């Protein structure tokens, strides 16, 4: 048994190819009787339409693509959930790809997708300027592009992310209100959202008249867990050797914050009493940490939902769009045990 086409059906049923085509798309031009004959035969021989030919003919594929830097984190999976929800309602197929934080992989993803004729692209770019040319080219080819999460790209289009400044500010204020005055900010050296989070952190310090010690700014190499761990461990060792020991950590990402917690446990440093910990994180395991991890979390599913909804809208209104918005949603703070000084309970 091999693939069967509408031509095969037309021969078997002694009708024309166009009749079959119309019947299968439930055209009003075809009588109910022939429609059902054709449908029955199609089902019986489990015919499935050749979408490749269909795409070629129609000039659209009913497919959108998502390019994320990595899909092995909770924020991205939550975003994908939101995207899928819209996709199912709106009957779009989704292609998921990961750029692995690498501009050249990102480039080849975009190339492949362009060649494959997607109807729209959702992307969280590797960096501020990565593959701008390609994305621009897509836009010019009438393929709408919407950004999510990493919304610092120079590309002019719709962007969906969160208020990184505010989230960082709130987290820092929370720590300060716990009595912390010597807060480490562990972050990434080349992270798109790092600047805003740093700004929020600094703003909170300033607000409460807490001097900022440049040594407390700790950028890590986010390449992999080994480099992250090494950088964190080194910084913590140094910090705890100094005269005025740190009393809190504000982590800029999921991974940074979680690894910090593990390293502290390994160093036998008590959290939250010796040092409080809070950080940006969407992990579902925050609750399962010990102490349970306080987090600033992002409305991942909603980001995906909104971004995809906008993309679909742009696909359907083919008209050229020159007006764009950047939507920054609120983060939410989840205070658990890791940032609650026990004297305060």
Partner DNA sequence: TTGTACGCGTTATCAA
Partner DNA sequence: TTGATAACGCGTACAA
Q: Where do the H-state alpha helices sit in 182-299?
A: 194-207, 225-241, 254-266
* Residue 25 contact among DNA, a copy of itself, none, beta carbon within 5 to 8 Å by kind: DNA
Q: What is the DSSP letter of 242?
A: S
Q: Toward a copy of itself, which CB reaches closer, 151 or 255?
A: 255
| 50 or 242: CB nearest DNA | 50
CB-wise, 53 or 321, nearer to a copy of itself?
A: 53
Residues 90-119 that bind a copy of itself (CB under 8 A): 93-98, 100, 111-112, 114-117
Q: Which does 31 bind (CB under 5 to 8 A by kind): DNA, a copy of itself, none?
A: DNA
Q: Are β-strands 158-162 and 145-148 bridged in parallel, bridged antiparallel, or unpaired?
A: parallel
Sketch the per residue contact string, 247 through 276, with a copy of itself: x for CB under 8 A, - otherwise: -----------xx-xxx-xx----------
Cβ neighbours around 212 below 10 Å, total: 13
Stated as kind and residue range, the H or E segment containing 51 is: helix 51-58
Using the rule CB under 8 A, which residue among 12, 49, 230, 321 binds a copy of itself? 49
> What does each C-alpha distance from 260 to 18, 248, 289, 293 come to in angstroms?
65, 11, 12, 11
What is the C-alpha separation between 320 and 37, in angstroms, rounded? 43
| 84 is an interface residue for a copy of itself by CB under 8 A | yes
Smallest separation (angstroms) from a copy of itself to the CB of 84: 7
- In this structure, are strands 276-280 and 326-329 parallel, antiparallel, or unpaired? unpaired
Which chain residues interact with DNA by CB under 7 A? 3, 5-7, 14-19, 21-22, 24-25, 28-31, 33-34, 49-50, 53-54, 56-59
| Contacting range for a copy of itself; rule: CB under 8 A; set: 23-31, 32-40, 182-190, 281-289 | 281-289
- Residue 18 contact among a copy of itself, DNA, none, beta carbon within 5 to 8 Å by kind: DNA
Burial 19-30 (b: 16+ CB within 10 A, else e): bbbbbbeeeeeb
Question: Among 91, 89, 162, 86, which residue's Cα sits nearest to residue 122?
Answer: 86
48 burial type by CB count under 10 A (0-12 exposed, 13-18 middle, 19+ buried) = exposed
User: Residue 3 or residue 241: which is nearer to a copy of itself going by CB?
Assistant: 3
Q: Is residue 283 a contact residue for a copy of itself (CB under 8 A)?
A: yes
Beta pairing class for 332-334 and 294-297: antiparallel
Query: In the chain, count of helices (H) and strands (E)?
Result: 12, 12
Question: Smallest distance from the beta carbon of 204 to a copy of itself, in angstroms?
Answer: 26
CA dihedral 15, 19, 21, 23 (to 10 degrees): -110
Query: With CB cut-offs between 5 and 8 Å by kind, which of DNA, a copy of itself, none does residue 210 bind?
Result: none
Number of residues that bind a copy of itself (CB under 8 A): 56
Provide the 10 A C-beta neighbour count for residue 243: 4
Residue among 125, 246, 291, 299 that touches a copy of itself (CB under 8 A): 291
Structure tokens at 327: 């939507």
Contact window for a copy of itself (CB under 8 A) among 19-27, 76-84, 161-169, 240-248: 76-84
Kindly list the residues in this chain that would bind a copy of itself in the complex (CB under 8 A): 1-3, 46, 48-53, 55-56, 61, 63, 70-72, 74, 77-78, 80, 84, 93-98, 100, 111-112, 114-117, 137, 140-142, 225, 258-259, 261-263, 265-266, 283-285, 287-292
């Amino acid at each position: 048994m091999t693939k069967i086409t509408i031509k095969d059906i037309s021969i078997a049923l002694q009708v024309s190819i166009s009749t079959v085509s119309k019947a299968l798309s439930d055209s009003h031009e075809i009588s109910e009787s022939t429609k059902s004959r054709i449908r029955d035969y199609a089902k019986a021989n489990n015919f499935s339409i050749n979408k490749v030919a269909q795409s070629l003919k129609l000039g659209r594929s009913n497919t959108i693509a998502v390019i994320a830097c990595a899909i092995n984190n909770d924020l991205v999976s939550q975003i994908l959930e939101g995207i899928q929800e819209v996709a199912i309602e709106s009957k779009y197929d989704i292609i998921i790809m990961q750029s692995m934080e690498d501009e050249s992989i990102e480039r080849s993803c975009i190339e492949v997708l362009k060649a494959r004729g997607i109807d729209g692209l959702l992307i969280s770019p590797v960096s501020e300027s990565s593959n701008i040319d390609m994305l621009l080219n897509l836009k010019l080819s009438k393929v709408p592009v919407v950004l999510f999460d990493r919304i610092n790209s120079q590309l002019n289009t719709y962007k969906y992310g969160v208020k990184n400044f505010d989230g960082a500010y709130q987290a820092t204020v929370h720590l300060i209100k716990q009595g912390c005055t010597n807060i480490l900010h562990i972050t990434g050296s080349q992270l798109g959202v790092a600047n805003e989070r740093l700004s929020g952190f600094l703003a909170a310090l300033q607000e409460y008249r807490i001097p900022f010690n440049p040594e407390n700014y700790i950028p890590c190499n986010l390449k992999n867990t080994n480099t992250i761990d090494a950088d964190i461990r080194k910084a913590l060792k140094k910090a705890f050797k100094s005269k005025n020991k740190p009393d809190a950590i504000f982590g800029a990402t999921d991974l940074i914050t979680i690894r910090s917690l593990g390293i502290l446990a390994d160093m036998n440093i008590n959290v939250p009493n010796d040092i409080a910990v809070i950080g940006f994180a969407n992990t579902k395991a925050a609750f399962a940490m010990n102490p349970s991890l306080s987090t600033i979390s992002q409305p991942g599913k909603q980001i995906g939902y909104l971004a995809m909804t906008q993309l679909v809208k742009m696909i359907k209104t083919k008209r050229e769009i020159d007006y764009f918005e950047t939507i920054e949603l609120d983060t939410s703070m989840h205070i658990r045990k890791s940032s609650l000084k026990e004297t305060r309970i």
